[in-house]
Structure 1
Amino acid sequence: MQRVDFAKAAPKAFKALIGFDAAAREGLDPDLVELVQIRASQINKCAYCLHMHTTDARKAGASEERLHMVAVWEEAAHFFTAKERAALALTEAVTRVADGGVPDAVYERAAEHFEEGELARLLALIFTINTWNRIAISTRKVPGTDER
């Protein structure tokens, strides 16, 4: 059962996060955005966000086969472009930042595929999905409810 409705209880914080999220997505490939959000949500074990983003990816035309491979993207590299793999590696490093930071090699790999502004927005996207995951988990959002 949901603990608190964050959007209603903290509307200014919620709106600020919505704005940050929208700014982060600007200019990023929508398929890449969903992959990043799916992978972070898997790592964080956020069922609410994982349900939302896999649903969104399906609606946008992502194949079931590819969605199933996100969790094991390194072993299933041929399903993803080099740019997507770089973004997924960065997503994992930032999401698990407490486990040793973001290694230079991971950052440099991403920098090879994303120009500076795009890389900054990718980082912002990773920050926002991790925040959304923490909100959904902390407030016990129920997967499949009140999603866009």
Structure 2
Amino acid sequence: MSTATHRRVKIATHAPDFYQALIALDAQSTTGLDPLLVNLVRIRASQLNGCAYCLDMHTIDARHEGDSEQRLYLLSAWREARKFYSEKEQAALELTEAITLISVDHVPDDVYEIAANAFEEKELAQLIGLIITINAWTRVGVTGRMEPGHYNPS
């Protein structure tokens, strides 16, 4: 990693139309999905992508929605802590990892099949849209070096 300190462009300021489109996309991506599942997906993708800003934001949101500290702490090791996550959540987390790390295995058929069995088609399509959207957001956050600690959900 470079140690040079270059001023990072603020996407929201210098590409406001793109930023607003991403906000609109984000709003559409959660339709019909359980808010706890939405936050788990967002947090897991943020963990994988190393986006501190997104991790801060979505863990705050998860707590606000009533998710437990224990589930949030265990999320990075969810396979070893399966009992804390429903089968549907596990399927969503597996798909989140496959899509987020798409260059590794290109979303294996078995992973997709598990998700397809856990979700109705419309819900699965929404989930895929959610995963794609949070990956876009994490790229904005990481590229722009957005700092955690400034998110206010109100």
Identify whether the pair has TM-score above 0.5, normalized to the shorter chain.
Answer: yes
Displacement over 6 Å in runs of 4+? none
Instruction: Tell me what 2:83 maps to.
Output: 78
Q: Which residue of 2 aligns with 1:39?
A: 44
Partner of 2:124: 119
Aligned to 1:92: 97
Provide Cα deviations, 1:12-66, integer angstroms capped at 9, x if missing partner. 1011111111111000000000000000000011101001000111111111111
2:8 alignment partner in structure 1: 3
Distance 2:37 2:109 in 1: 22
Question: 20, 26, 31: which one pairs with 1:26?
Answer: 31
8 Å contact from structure 2 (residues 56, 151) kept in 1: no
Structure 2: any 5+ residue segments left out of the alignment? none
Contact 2:57 2:151 in 1 (8 A): no
Alignment correspondent of 1:14: 19
CA contact (8 A) 2:95 2:115 kept: yes
- Is 1:101 matched with 2:106? yes
TM-score, normalised by the number of residues in structure 2: 0.92
SS of residue paired to 1:61: coil
Distance 2:22 2:38 in 1: 16
Q: Higher Cα Rg: structure 1 or 2?
A: 2
Q: Distance in 2 between matches of 1:90 and 1:36?
A: 9
State the partner residue of 2:134: 129
CA distance in 1, matches of 2:120, 2:8: 41
Give the length in aligned residue pairs.
Answer: 148
Matched residue, 2:58 = 53
Unaligned segments of structure 1, at least 5 residues: none
The two structures have a TM-score, normalised by structure 1, of 0.96
